[in-house]
Amino acid sequence: MLALAALGFVLGVMPSMAAAGRASRLVALDAGSGTLVPIPGTRGAFRLTLHDVRPTALAFDDRPGLEQGVITVERMLDGLFVEGQPGPNAAIDAIVGDGELELMGVKLERPRYDRATATLRFRVQRLRQERRLGVGTRTDTVLPRAFGRTALFVDNCCATRQSVTVFNTSPLSIQVSVNNGPFSAIQGAFPGAWTPQSATFPFSLAPQQPNVLAYGTNLVAIVPTGAIAPVTVAIAVPSALNVTSLQLYVSLDGSGGVEWVLLNGGVFVSGSTAPAARLLARAGSA
């Protein structure tokens, strides 16, 4: 008879990927054309409007990372513009005049995106040009009011890149595998103080891969101490979900059955209602 094992998966927002030793994530977005209109009375400030914006962008790791993936414009903006954090810097690479390319560095602020019209608007502030690096070059410029095809390269997109911490709140030690990856051992919670033990897994925008969770359906296998075979559950992270802080609680009951509930910022996403109530009650008592 297996003892009740309650697990808590927490996808926490990481405020600084550099501090966590993970690669930054950059983004490249295409548009068919654009306009740049000066804001009266504010030096170096403009209203940038991009037209025919593709609904998805390419997100890729800064070195030494090796991953890339597709990200929706909505999710990109959610990751770029976080309350209490400064807006990101970006390079606007646009075709102007007779097909020439010009670059302009800006700080992005106040995004407004209309998916129906494929239009993306920002308030932008021109970045200062370092005098020792290219004064008078094509990067030391202000784009014209109207320009053609455009690529927007943004620094550190989605700096809130998630990681997945698996907490074992049961006194029973377990082994956990994510998407057919290698098993990771997690000791049982310390008796008395009831301190959960944990292991950490990455969360990626790219498709599922061994040892990495992602949007879509993830296979999580759990082997409690004393069990012969793993119990595998399919955990879906909806692609349209604006992930803030996900919690996934999973338990094995006495008969070997599986109970689980997925929350986002404490709000129910999916799971079984009755088992969810028991799981959350147990997690709260821990």
**pLDDT tens sequence for the chain (286 residues):** 344 344 444 443 333 333 333 456 788 899 999 999 999 988 889 999 999 999 988 888 776 667 777 888 888 887 788 666 678 888 898 888 878 888 888 899 999 999 999 999 999 998 876 665 555 555 567 888 999 999 888 887 654 446 677 776 676 778 889 899 999 887 776 665 556 667 777 777 667 788 888 888 989 888 887 788 888 888 888 877 766 666 777 666 666 666 777 777 667 877 764 444 454 545 444 4
Which residues share a beta bridge with 96?
A: 100
Number of H helices, E strands in the chain: 2, 21
pLDDT at 165: 73
Return the beta strands (E) in 138-230 as ranges.
Answer: 146-147, 150-154, 162-168, 174-178, 184-186, 197-204, 213-214, 216-224
pLDDT at 213: 80
pLDDT at 117: 95
- Tokens 């998805």: give the residue: 56
Distances (CA, A) of 141 to 90, 100, 135, 159: 14, 13, 9, 28
**3-class DSSP state of 206:** coil
pLDDT at 175: 84
Omega of the bond leading into 224 within 30 degrees of 0 (cis): no
Distances (CA, A) of 20 to 13, 77, 161, 192, 263: 11, 22, 11, 31, 24
Sequence-distant contacts of 227-231: CB under 8 A, at least 24 apart: 227/2, 227/256, 230/175, 230/177, 231/256, 231/258
pLDDT at 243: 65
**3-class DSSP state of 13:** strand
Report the first-to-last Cα separation within the chain, whole angstroms. 22
pTM of the model: 0.52
pLDDT at 20: 36
- Dihedral class, residue 208 (left if φ above 0, else alpha if ψ from -120 to 50, else beta): beta
pLDDT at 19: 33
